[in-house]
Amino acid sequence: MSRRVVITGMGVVAPNGVGLTAFSHAIKNGISGIKKDPDLERLKFSCQISGKPILSTEKIADYFTELELRNFNSTGILYGVIAGLDAWKDAGLEITTATDPDWDSGTIFGAGTSGIEKFRESIYKIDNFQTKRLGSTAVAQTMNSGISAYLAGKLGLGNQVTTNSSACTTGTESLMMAYDRIQSGQAKRILAGSTSDSGPYIWGGFDAMRVCTFKHNDSPETGSRPLSATASGFVPGSGAGAFVVEDLEHALARGARIYAEIKGGNINSGGQRGTGTMTAPNTVAVQKCIRDAIKNSGIDPRKIDTINGHLTATTKDGLEIENWSQALELRGNDFPYINSLKSMVGHCLSAAGSIECVASILQIHESFIFPSINCEDLHPEVTAIIDASKVPQKLIEIPVNIVVKASFGFGDVNGCIVFKKFEK
């Protein structure tokens, strides 16, 4: 039997807001979380701005014990645990110390890397003949599945516990994997999401590739410019987003609040064939991913209220709009609204999909469409395909029924998911 799957809890650690209330306020009001980054300036990066969540020592102490924080140095696990536990609590679920695992609940929580700062610290200790001083948590902090292991331990999860990793598609993929597991009846609920480490050792490779902007080091908040004619590359960011994905029957039975229903989606790859490479999308695969997601969800493309695009502020933004238009067979004023959260938080890499899915779902739950900032000069490639009014630059307060979110990642991998307002 095919089960209906819903979102009953969310958590977010974003550059422009930690927690749902702060994050919702920021995206409604076009508040940027991008700042000058002293580390990138010191290391002479071309791009010297970034989007990093702001967390106080007191905030962190609410989620980790003093013992856990001893020799702790993993921003990705830090962000992911906070977002994950917030989502769990937001869903009205208890954090227990029961002896037996919760066999009905698991986690699929993605990451690109884990504890790269801890890994660097460990290398220096090994090279200085101090291997015995690495500490007992070095492995847990640096293994890629560290985030899911930490969350499983804190929540006593006994169902599937794993970490997926698919570059920028990671967060969207984690939700689709959770959806599939619940729909097939193998779990009642899955804590899904993704996280990303922050800092120069994550972002250096992108700076070397010259895909990050270098023109806005003195004006950080205007640096991330998706869909703009003056876009000059993405701004690196970090953080985490998390969701309690649940079987509808069990959610209703416990009286849970429902943010939205996952109607379906699709994951595919362009195989690095045709126009696809390690860093460029295969347009045929992107369009197929969108079409298959729409078909799988059983929705009419003309009923889509808004799209939250991948839209990174690189030269591929115009191509993405063309791919959406071709896949949906909609152009001009018939095209849905489309926005890019990256205009406010930068590109959060493996965390991008999950943070952007939180923003997508909030639009349904709170009846608004958030603005894309810094695109007052829309690129001609964009306006040649869709009407300029379809890229909101101010908050739009209207009921939102269907939101489509897509992520496209390095390695020519694609993910598209469809959220709908819940109706019994």
Instruction: Give the 3-state secondary structure of residue 104.
Output: coil
pLDDT digits (tens, 9 = 90+) for 240-292: 999 999 999 999 999 999 999 999 999 999 999 999 999 999 999 999 999 99
Contacts of 209 (CB under 8 A, 6+ apart): 279
pLDDT at residue number 124? 67
Two tokens at 389?
A: 């009014």
Give Cα 36 to chain centroid, integer Å: 22
pLDDT at residue number 129? 82
pLDDT at residue number 132? 74
Q: What's the mean pLDDT in 51-71?
A: 94
pLDDT digits (tens, 9 = 90+) for 349-375: 999 999 999 999 999 999 999 999 999
- CA-CA distance, 305 to 400, in Å (whole number)? 6
Percentage of the chain exceeding pLDDT 90:
90
CB-CB contact of 224 with 36 (8 Å): no
CATH of span 5-253: 3.40.47.10
Domain range 264-418, CATH class:
alpha beta
pLDDT digits (tens, 9 = 90+) for 106-151: 999 999 998 888 777 877 678 778 877 777 788 888 899 999 999 9
pLDDT at residue number 104? 97
- To the question of pTM greater than 0.85 for the whole model, the response is yes
Question: How far is residue 202 from each of residues 11, 120, 249, 270, 350, measured CA to CA in Å?
Answer: 23, 11, 41, 25, 11
Percentage of the chain exceeding pLDDT 70:
100
DSSP string, 130-164: -GGGS-TTHHHHHSTTHHHHHHHHHHTB-S-EE--
Beta strands in 40-90 (DSSP E): 49-51
Two tokens at 404?
A: 């489509």
pLDDT at residue number 1? 54
The identity of residue 386, as a single letter, is I
Two tokens at 396?
A: 């739009």
Residues 223, 285, 241: CA angle, nearest 5 degrees: 45
Q: What's the mean pLDDT in 14-20?
A: 98
pLDDT at residue number 248? 97
- β-pair type (5-14, 34-36): unpaired
Q: Where exactly are the structural domains of the chain? A: 5-253, 264-418
Do the domains at 5-253 and 264-418 have one common CATH topology?
yes
CB-CB contact of 260 with 361 (8 Å): yes
pLDDT digits (tens, 9 = 90+) for 3-13: 999 999 999 99
